[in-house]
Amino acid sequence: MIIPLMNGKVGLPLMNLVRFKGIPILQQLHLEEQLLRTSSENWCIINDGTNAPTIVMGLSGKPSELLEVGSVLRDQVPVIKRFTGGGTVIVDCGTVLVALICNRDAVPGVQPYPRSIMGWSGLLYKEVFRGTGDFQLRENDYVFGNLKFGGNAQSIIKNRWIHHTSFLWDYEARNMAYLKLPTRAPEYRAARSHMEFICQMKDYIPRSDFINKTVKAVENQFSVAPLELDIDSVIHNTEYVHTTRLLTKHELEESWASTAPLEKSMSLQVQ
C-alpha cells in the first residue's frame, strides 16, 4: 500500500519520496526495477543502510572476473546480479543507497542518455556536498579529490530512466577483499588497490546531514511528496517478473571451478 503524507510544491514535476532504513538490497532493487518499468511517476528512494553484507554486480558482470569467488563461497556472502549496468560493489549497514527514477521529460535539459543523466546528477550532488571536501564527478564516480565514495549505475528505457548510487558512508575493510581489481577501471584510479582508491564519507559529513541535504537538493527541482510504502505488498502483489536476482551457490561454484582448475578436487568447505 502507498500512502501519501503531504503535498509538494506547485509548479514543479512531482517526485515521490520513499525512505527506508536497513531493508535488504535485493528488496530495494526489486522495487526499483518494478517502479521503473511499471510506474509512470517519478521516484526518489533512500535506503539508510542495508541489513547484511551483500555483493551487487552489474547486469553483464561475471563472478570469475570480478570476485574472489572462493572466498565468497567460503564465507557465504550473497551475490546479486542487478538490472542496471555499472560495476560491482559490496553493500552493508554502512552504505547509503539512493535511487532516482524519472520520466524522460521530468528534468528540463536532461536527455535519456548516460552522459546527460550523469551530468545532471553531478550538479545535484554538488549542491549536497557544497562546502564539503573537494567533491567532483570523475568518470562516472563521485569523489573527494581522487578518492571514490559513490558508485553509480543506470538503466534507460523508452520513456524513463533510473540513476542509483551506493554511497560509502562507512565500510568494513575486510569486505573489500572479496572484490578483484577490475580489468576495466577509470583512468584516474591508476591501478590503485581498493583501499587506496576509496574513502569513507563519515570523515567528511554526518550521515543524517547527507541524507537531509540530498532530500533538500531533490526538493529544489521537484515537488516532493513523501510516501509510506509497504514494500512487501508492492513487490509481491504483482505479476511483474524481476530480472534482478540472487546468484545460486551452484552458479558460483561453477565460476570458481572454471578459474581454479587445480582446486577442483578440494572441498569448498561451505556448509
Annotated domain spans of the chain = 2-260
pLDDT at 5: 43
- Reported as a single tens digit per residue, the pLDDT across 28-85 is 999 999 999 999 999 999 999 999 999 999 999 999 999 999 999 999 999 999 999 9
pLDDT at 9: 59
Q: pLDDT tens digits, the chain, 271 residues: what are they?
A: 444 444 445 689 999 999 999 999 999 999 999 999 999 999 999 999 999 999 999 999 999 999 999 999 999 999 999 999 999 999 999 999 999 999 999 999 999 999 999 999 999 999 999 999 899 999 999 999 999 999 999 999 999 999 999 999 999 999 999 999 988 888 999 999 999 999 999 999 999 999 999 999 999 999 999 999 999 888 887 788 999 999 999 999 999 988 765 444 444 454 4
Say if pTM beats, i.e. exceeds, 0.75: yes
CA-nearest of 92, 99, 67 to 247 is 67
Burial class of 196 by CB neighbour count within 10 A (0 to 12, 13 to 18, 19+): exposed
For domain 2-260, the CATH architecture is: 2-Layer Sandwich (3.30)
Give residues with Cβ within 8 angstroms of 209, minimum separation 6. none
